[in-house]
Structure 1
Amino acid sequence: MPVTMPHDLPARAILESEKIFVMSAERAGRQDIRPMRIAILNLMPTKVATETQLLRLLSNTPLQIEITLLHMSSHVSQNTSAAHLEAFYSTFDEVADEHFDGLIITGAPIERLAFEDVDYWPEMTRVLDWTRTNVQSTLHVCWGAQAALYHHYGVGKFEVPKKISGVFSHRLTGAKSPVVTGFDEEFLAPHSRHTDVHAADVEATGAVDVLAISDEAGVFLAATPDGRQVFVTGHPEYDADTLSLEYARDVAQQAAVAAPAHYFPGDDPTAVPLNRWRGHGHLLYTNWLNYCVYQETPFDLA
Structure 2
Amino acid sequence: MPIRIDSDLPARAILEEENVFVMDKERACTQDIRPLRIAILNLMPNKLDTELHLLRSLSNTPLQLDITFLQTESYIPTHVPESHLEKFYNYFSEIRDKKFDGMIITGAPVELKEFEDVDYWKEVADIMEWSKSHVTSTLHICWAAQAGLYYHYGIKKHILDKKVSGVYAHYPLHNKLPIVRGFDDKFYVPHSRNTGVDGDAIRQNKELIIAAESNETGPYIILNQNGSQIFVTGHPEYDVMSLHLEYVRDLKRGLNPEIPKNYYKDNDPQKGPVKSWRCHANAMYYNWLNYYVYQVTPYEL
Structure 2-normalised TM-score? 0.88
SS in 2 for 1:74: coil
Distance 1:234 1:184 in 2: 17
Aligned-residue offset at 1:61:
1.0
Partner of 1:212: 212
8 A contact 1:175–1:209 mirrored in 2 = no
What amino acid is the match of 1:145? A
Count of residue pairs brought into register by the alignment: 271
Range that drifts further, 41-50 or 203-212: 203-212
8 A contact 1:37–1:102 mirrored in 2 = yes
Partner of 2:189: 189
8 A contact 1:40–1:104 mirrored in 2 = yes
SS in 1 for 2:269: coil
Partner of 1:93: 93
Range that drifts further, 99-108 or 55-64: 55-64
Runs (5+) with no aligned partner, structure 2:
2-31
Runs (5+) with no aligned partner, structure 1:
2-31
Give aligned-pair identity as a percent.
49
What amino acid is the match of 2:208? V
Partner of 2:166: 166
Aligned-residue offset at 1:33:
4.3
8 A contact 1:163–1:193 mirrored in 2 = yes
Partner of 2:47: 47
What amino acid is the match of 1:78? T
Aligned-residue offset at 1:102:
0.1
CA RMSD of aligned residues (A): 1.3
Partner of 1:125: 125
Q: How does 1:20-99 map to 2 (within 5 A)?
A: 33-99=33-99
Partner of 2:157: 157
Distance 1:141 1:72 in 2: 17
Partner of 1:238: 238
What amino acid is the match of 1:55? L
What amino acid is the match of 1:195? T
Distance 1:47 1:204 in 2: 36
8 A contact 1:73–1:91 mirrored in 2 = yes
Partner of 1:142: 142
SS in 2 for 1:270: helix
Q: How does 1:195-206 map to 2 (within 5 A)?
A: 195-206=195-206
SS in 2 for 1:126: helix
- Tell me if 1:222 matches 2:215: no
What amino acid is the match of 1:196? G
SS in 1 for 2:57: helix
Distance 1:271 1:223 in 2: 37
Structure 1-normalised TM-score? 0.88
Aligned-residue offset at 1:174:
2.6
8 A contact 2:175–2:181 mirrored in 1 = no
Q: Which runs of 4+ in 1 moved over 2 A?
A: none
SS in 2 for 1:63: coil
Going from structure 1 to structure 2, the CA distance change for 1:118 and 1:67 (only over 3 Å counts) comes to same
Distance 2:215 2:35 in 1: 39
